Copies of this chain bind each other. A is one copy, B any other.
Amino acid sequence: MNTHTPTPIQWHFAERAQRLQSSVIREILKITMRPEVISFAGGLPSPDTFPIERMQAAFDKVLSTNGRVALQYGPTDGYLPLREWVANSLSIDGVTISPEQVLMVSGSQQGLDLLGKVFIDEGSKVLVETPSYLGALQAFSVYGPEFVSLPTDDGGLLPEAVETLGVGARLLYALPNFQNPTGRTLSLERRVALVDICARLGLPLIEDDPYGALNYRATPLPTMLTMHPEGVIYMGSFSKTLTPGIRLGYVVAPQPLVRKLEQAKQASDLHTAQLTQMVVHEVIKDGFLDQHIPATRALYAARCDAMLAALAEFFPAGVTWTKPDGGMFIWVTLPQHIDSMQLLDAAIAQNVAFVPGAPFYANDPVRHALRLSFVTVTPDRIREGVEKLGKLIAARL
């Protein structure tokens, strides 16, 4: 038998396997790994912000003082001192979050998968922003929901639309701070209204907040979690404030839901690496993020400004874009007849990359929009890349 050529058998997959697709972003990223490409496509943080030496010292310390625990199987809900840190960091505005409301996960993408697993049956109604975060659409899709696209304007989603669209829905998924992909921020007034409507409907509201700490201009707005802890599922991550490669995030929710998510996590991967959690706790426990994040903010804010300036200089009339107060992304709307997927082909030929807008729509994809990330590119290269894009767009007008 050992001499067979491995010609694969046609196996019978589950129906949900048909719904699995590779993310267009990760496909584009493969193309844009070449150093000559000016890539605005990534959702990657800048490696300039990674606290490498501090991580190294923490690995040394945790392994030398506590290696037998750090390298052993650990609890499914996560490392208690880190859960305590998360609970404390979110206990503001008079609200107390307990460590028992915190589940550590392997990056917040896993939180999305666990929420899909626990909440979504085939055909369940799930409300999402228009456009929404691609990774969430991908995670939820596996479970076969019916996505309902919530109307939005420059200020993000319109809460009043939830009054009718939210009836009978299982989940509402929102990214209120510097949204991926648009960079938009939901105003305080809209947060209050959204929380109120969801509470009245008994509709679980997912507040996905990976970028909240990356505010460049405005004073941070309160989380929806603090407005209504019994109805909001909050998701946080260390990917944008520390490093994404370690895969560490958290879900904060009312206890009965956390216990259910914990069971789902146990079946999915037992637990998130104990060593990673102990090291992150070691890195952040004495207030390191308070010193570290301002430097990240300053770096990204300068690049955001450079991109906004370049867009104003080089993009032709008829093109509009968002002016984010934080985060990593600017959303560009082209004249309706320009297809951003075709523009991408032309751009890649000139060594510039971005992500076309269509994949971010759960329904009715808009083909004349695109997402630009500014955080991994230097101001000079931002200017150079935006100038090239501007010319490509102008040639199509």
Contact = CB atoms under 8 A, between A and B. Distances in A.
Question: Chain A contact residues: over half helix, strand or loop, or mixed?
Answer: loop
Contacts of A1: 195, 227-228
A320 B268 CA distance: 34
A68 B52 contact: yes
A3 interface: yes
A340 interface: no
A52 B72 contact: no
Contacts of A119: 11-14, 17
A7 interface: yes
B139 A245 contact: no
Interface in A100-137: 101, 105-107, 109-110, 113, 117-121, 124, 135
Given A15-B121, A56-B60, A71-B244, A4 B270 contact: no
A351 interface: no
Interface residues on A, range: 35 or more
Given A47-B68, A170-B12, A2 B270 contact: no
A63 interface: yes
A363 interface: no
Nearest to A114: B268
A220 B268 CA distance: 30
Interface stretch (A20-28, A182-190, A386-394): A20-28
